Amino acid sequence: MNIYQEELLDHYENPSNYGTLPNPDISHEEDNPLCGDKIRIDLIVEDDIIKEVRFSGHGCTISLAAASMLTEEIVGKSLEEVKKLSRDDILDMVGIPLGPVRVKCALLALKVLKAGAYGIKGWPGEEDE
Amino acid sequence: MTQKTKHTSDFRPLDVQAIREDFPIFANTPPLAFLDSAASTQTPRPVVEAMDAYYDTYRSNIHRGVYRISEEATDQYEKARQKVAQLINAPRTSQVVFTRNTTESINLVAYSWGSPNIQQGDEIVLTDLEHHSNLVPWQLLAQRTGATLRFLEITDEGLLDFTQLRDVLSPKTKLVAITHVSNVLGTITPIQSIIDAAHTAGAKVIVDAAQSVPHFHVDVQQLDCDFLAFSGHKMCGPTGVGVLYGKLELLEEMPPFLGGGSMIRSVERDISTYADVPAKFEAGTPSIAEAIGLGAAVDYLTQAGLASIHVHEQELLKYAHERLQEIEGITIYGPAPHQKAGVISFNIEGIHPHDVAGILDTHNVAIRAGHHCAQPLMKKLDVIATARASFYLYNTFEDIDRLYEGLQKAQNLMTRRSK
């Protein structure tokens, strides 16, 4: 399967929830030192439910498309539910096989989200290692 | 033992098709367009065969063995050292120290020469072009000693700004650590002038030759460099073996780097005396098969002819510049082809270099994308990353055509709706 398939390219070219929020409850930014990709995520949270989300930054197709998909997934969910999102959930959303370097691209947005919302450092899936 | 200069005119056109037959990886279909030799090269059969011969017929540890196959292993290991010494025209074979790679060679100098010779207030001169391997060891040394790092900058064309040299060098300069060829831009630095100027200022010079020794003839006696480091895996050799060349009087006065077996003369409970160079710097069982493989790689490159390899790479580079310049929105970094080695770094507007490399991979074209272990240079170029194609003796004009076609496809795919 070609990693540059339609759905990913759609998200890359027309990302959902792209931008920033003026008064976010949570705002966090991180980069992937391997390739310099950088993603910021802003959240509005009411009664533990994510009401609004925006992401911004720069990166490759995989990192930006995964960020777009992730933001679609988390709106309306509780912080507790979002905390359970795993590396595999993201890779399922992306839906195509990725090599180890590109897996990090796909996981960058989740890493930013977890670090911002829960202070969880480290790449998703590597917390226990 | 003193060796005479050889390497007179070894120029004859490369028979690239015959060369490619020595590399089994190119027999696969669809054929691989391998354009990442600046990271690590492919391995020809004679190199693998030399290592196989060690494993299959005389596998044993070197030195001190009193049985025949151990003598054979020692003999082959030392012959490899001799071949490397001849390649770079080292005055004595013992001036070639086997390490793991360029990084280890540079760290060896940073510890064994740097620690006793660098003090607070001293200055170490580097350049904007350095790979992390020729930057971080000096940062660590500066932190240990209180020395200061100073940098020769590059011009907009990616050449070293030679006019700054006079301002940067001073009586405080104890060391100049400089790359011979930039792994990102391909820039060939004016190494001879810099070595001469550094010596006039009373400084020693270490040359990072990881990207030069594999591609053209480097003569340490002519350069008069104090140290020179390079890796086997970037010159058709195996991974796990590298080289440090040093001037004999420097190597002799330096304390050991790692302690252990092989590097000693005698050991008592509280104190040891050390072996002569190069054994002093080769603690523990070295990469025996790999050193023997490197010796075979030296033979292979010498047989092909380094002058011929250089000419071939220059032709590929010129052609690559011509073709890639046809691509809309491309930025090629670094100087003109005649001022650099077989490396071409570029970005295409609107496409992340990771995507460029990812799409090329689907067409079986291998290039590198990222910061190339040169983050300060990326900052200087004001980019996050670049895509980089690099060439070696086995590359063809067709490889470059496939790069060009792959880039066009990437552009069509990534910019299809914005047009």
Which of A3, A34, A61 lies at the smallest CB-CB distance from B370? A34
Which of A10, A60, A64, A101 is best to mutate for the B interface (most B CBs within 10 A)? A60
B70 — pLDDT class (breaks 50, 70, 90): very high
Listed in order, the ranges of chain B carrying CATH 3.40.640.10 are 47-302
B304-338 pLDDT tens trace: 999 999 999 999 999 999 999 999 999 999 999 99
Residue B281: closest CA among B309, B248, B313: B248
Fold of B16-44+305-414: Aspartate Aminotransferase, domain 1 (3.90.1150)
CB-nearest partner of A60 from B354, B413, B417: B354
> Sorting pLDDT into bands at 50, 70 and 90, what band is B10?
low
Q: Is B384 on the interface with A (CB under 8 A)?
A: yes
Average pLDDT, chain B: 93
Residue B419 has pLDDT above 50, yes or no: no
Closest Cα in chain B to A59: B352
DSSP bridge partners of B331:
B347
Show me where the domains of chain A are located: 6-116
Indicate if the alpha-carbon torsion angle B125, B126, B127, B128 is positive or negative: negative
Confidence of residue A1 (pLDDT cuts 50, 70, 90): very low
Instruction: Please give the average per-residue pLDDT across A77-103, as a whole number.
Output: 91
Among the listed residues B149, B140, B150, the one whose alpha carbon sits nearest the alpha carbon of residue B115: B140
Q: What does the block give as tokens for B68? A: 């025949």
- Omega before residue B214 within 30° of 0, cis: no
CA of B357 vs chain A CAs: smallest distance (Å):
11
Q: How far apart are CA B6 and CA B10, in angstroms?
A: 10
Tokens coding A109? 């947005």
Greatest CA separation for chain A:
42
Q: Model ipTM? A: 0.75
Q: Tell me which of B373, B378, B383, B384 is the catalytic residue.
A: B373
DSSP H helices in B202-325: 220-223, 248-253, 288-304, 306-325
Least confident of B137-141, B144-148, B258-262: B258-262
- Domain limits, CATH 3.90.1150.10, in chain B: 16-44+305-414
Structure-block tokens of residue B279: 């054994």
Question: Residue A87: is its pLDDT beyond 90?
Answer: yes
Residue B243 CA to residue A26 CA, distance in Å, equals 52
Q: What is the pLDDT of residue A127?
A: 59
**What confidence tier does B416 reach under pLDDT thresholds 50, 70, 90?**
low
Residue with the two structure tokens 């011969």: B53
- Indicate if the pLDDT at residue A55 is higher than 50: yes
Arithmetic mean of pLDDT, B183-201: 96
Q: Is A102 in Cβ contact with B358 (below 8 Å)?
A: yes
Half-sphere exposure of B208 (CA within 13 A, CB side): 29
Q: Which pLDDT band holds residue B393 (cuts at 50, 70, 90)? A: very high
Query: Could B362 and A4 be called an inter-chain contact, meaning their C-beta atoms sit closer than 8 Å?
Result: yes
- Compute the average pLDDT of residues B92-108: 98
DSSP category for residue B304: H
- Closest residue in A to B417 (Cα) is A13
Which of B362, B370, B418 has its CB closest to that of A35? B370
Angle at B63 between CA B57 and CA B69, to 5 degrees: 20
For the beta carbon of residue B208, count every other beta carbon within 10 angstroms.
Answer: 30
How far is the CA of A70 from the CAs of A7, A37, A123, B22, B89, in angstroms? 14, 16, 15, 48, 59
For the stretch B11-57, pLDDT in tens is 688 999 999 999 999 998 778 999 999 999 999 999 999 999 999 99
Cα B219 to the chain's mean position, in Å? 15
The per-residue pLDDT for range B142-181, each reduced to its tens digit, is: 999 999 999 999 998 999 988 888 899 999 999 999 999 9
Q: Which two tokens stand for residue B49?
A: 């065969």
Question: Above 80 in pLDDT, residue B112?
Answer: yes
Share of chain B above pLDDT 70, in %: 96
Q: Which pLDDT band, with edges at 50, 70 and 90, does A44 fall under?
A: very high
The residues, any chain, with a CB within 8 Å of residue A23's CB and separated by 6 or more, are: A44
Instruction: Decide if A20 contacts A106 (C-beta within 8 A).
Output: no
Residue B269's pLDDT is: 87
- pLDDT (tens digit, 9 = 90+) per residue, B345-385? 999 998 999 999 999 999 999 999 988 898 889 888 988 89
Q: Quick one: average pLDDT of A5-16?
A: 88
CA of B384 vs chain A CAs: smallest distance (Å): 6
State pLDDT tens for residues B273-282. 888 999 999 9
Supply the DSSP symbol for B210. T
- For B383, which DSSP code? -
Mean pLDDT check: name the lowest of B3-17, B323-337, B389-403: B3-17
Please state which of the ranges A114-118, B260-264, B336-340 shows the lowest mean pLDDT: B260-264
B353 interaction partners in chain A (CB closer than 8 Å): 35, 60
Q: Provide the shortest C-alpha distance from residue A71 to chain B (in Å).
A: 21
Nearest chain A residue to B354 by CA distance is: A60
Find the closest chain A residue to B370 by CA distance: A35
CA distance B14 to chain A (A): 36
Q: What is the CATH number of domain A6-116?
A: 3.90.1010.10
Contacts of B414 in chain A (CB under 8 A): 9, 61
Distance of CA A60 to the CA centre of its chain: 13
Measured between beta carbons, which residues in chain B are less than 8 angstroms from residue A98? none
Q: How close are the terminal C-alpha atoms of chain B, in Å?
A: 68
Q: pLDDT class for B83, splitting at 50, 70, 90?
A: very high
Pairing of strands B148-152, B173-179: unpaired
Phi-psi region of B272 (alpha: psi -120 to 50; beta: other; left: phi over 0): beta
Is residue A71 predicted with pLDDT exceeding 80?
Answer: yes
- Alpha carbon distance B47, A73 (integer Å): 53
Q: Which is nearest to A101 in space by CA: A1, A33, A7, A2?
A: A33
Which of A2, A13, A60 is nearest residue B352 as measured by Cβ atoms? Answer: A60
Per DSSP, the residues of B174-187 read EEEEEESB-TTT-B
Distance from CA of B364 to the nearest CA of A (A): 13
| CA dist A31 → A39, A63, A124, B328 (Å) | 6, 11, 14, 29
Interface of A with B in 29-68 (CB under 8 A): 34-37, 58-62
Residues on chain B touching A62 (C-beta within 8 angstroms): 354, 358
Active site (annotated) includes residue B236: no
Which fold would CATH assign to domain B47-302? Aspartate Aminotransferase; domain 2 (3.40.640)
pLDDT at B7: 45
Interface contact B419, partner A, CB < 8 A: no
Query: Residue B220's pLDDT is what?
Result: 98
φ, ψ (nearest 5 deg) of residue B318:
-60, -45
What region, left, alpha or beta, does residue B185 occupy, with left being phi > 0 and alpha being psi -120 to 50 degrees?
A: alpha
Question: Which pLDDT belongs to residue B48?
Answer: 98
Tokens 């005649």, residue located = B338
Q: How confident is the model at residue B3 (pLDDT cuts 50, 70, 90)?
A: very low
Q: Specify the pLDDT at position A8.
A: 87
A96 inside 8 A of chain B by CB: no
